[in-house]
Amino acid sequence: MTSPRAPQSAPGSKAPGAPAARVVLDADGVARATKRIAHEILERNRDLAEVALVAIAAGGVPVGRLVADGIREIAGVELPLGELDVTLYRDDVIGRGKRPVPRRTAMPQSVARKRVVLIDDVVFTGRTIRAAMDALIDFGRPEAIQVACLIDRGHRELPIQVDFVGKNIPTHRSEHVAVVACGERSYEVRVG
């Protein structure tokens, strides 16, 4: 979904007359990708009692819900989904002169000694994931942290690896990638 957090592209506005955003993953493709991520999480993490799903607010929450739904459908296990705000942990927000507005954090379980799967919509430079790891440690020391995202667009500025990817989409740094709601629990990915 589009969100008010920092956009998933380099700062700057579109030039007048720039082409409209194009759909690179439709709703069926998003559903397949999140189901595949759920399968991969289950394959790598056999003991679900030791797994904690944590979505990064705000873009990761809808993707996290779809992944949690997929795990429930496949394994018959309801994993609670935590929501983690990383606003105050970002190293690039204050540098841009923006005043950060914190969002909701809801952690339904401790992450101490758990295998935490951090879920986001789009991974770009890696700064949001780094901030999420810092924020997560405030809730306990996980056994391991894995990263899942619907879209990996590349252009890392930090050595962050994504473990579970819905789709890799090569982009230009100036492009904007957005996961947009197109119905109830239905999303598409646009690049423009």
Domain locations in the chain as residue ranges: 22-90+104-191
Instruction: Name residue 37's amino acid.
Output: I
Total H helices, total E strands in the chain: 3, 8
Tell me the sheet residues that pair with 83: 55, 106
Q: Is the pLDDT of residue 96 over 90?
A: no
Banded model confidence at residue 94, pLDDT cuts 50, 70, 90: low
CB distance 93 to 100 below 8 Å: yes
pLDDT in tens, 21-57: 999 999 999 999 999 999 999 999 999 999 999 999 9
The residue ranges of DSSP E strands in 144-185, in sequence order, are 144-152, 164-168, 177-183
- CATH class, domain 22-90+104-191, is alpha beta
Banded model confidence at residue 191, pLDDT cuts 50, 70, 90: very high
Q: Is the pLDDT of residue 83 over 80?
A: yes
Nearest residue to 67 via CA among 119, 126, 123: 119
- Biggest CA–CA distance in the chain, Å, is 52
φ, ψ for residue 177 (rounded to 5)? -110, 130
Q: Is the pLDDT of residue 115 over 70?
A: yes
Task: Provide, rounded to the nearest whole percent, the portion of the chain with pLDDT above 70.
Answer: 85
CA distances from 151 to 104, 114, 132, 185 (A): 23, 25, 17, 17
pLDDT in tens, 151-163: 999 999 999 999 9
pTM: 0.86
Q: Name every residue whose Cβ is closer than 8 Å to that of residue 50 and which is 6 or more positions away in sequence.
A: 113, 114, 115, 143
Kindly state the DSSP code that residue 126 receives in the 8-state scheme.
S
The residue ranges of DSSP E strands in the chain, in sequence order, are 22-25, 51-56, 81-84, 115-123, 144-152, 164-168, 177-183, 186-191
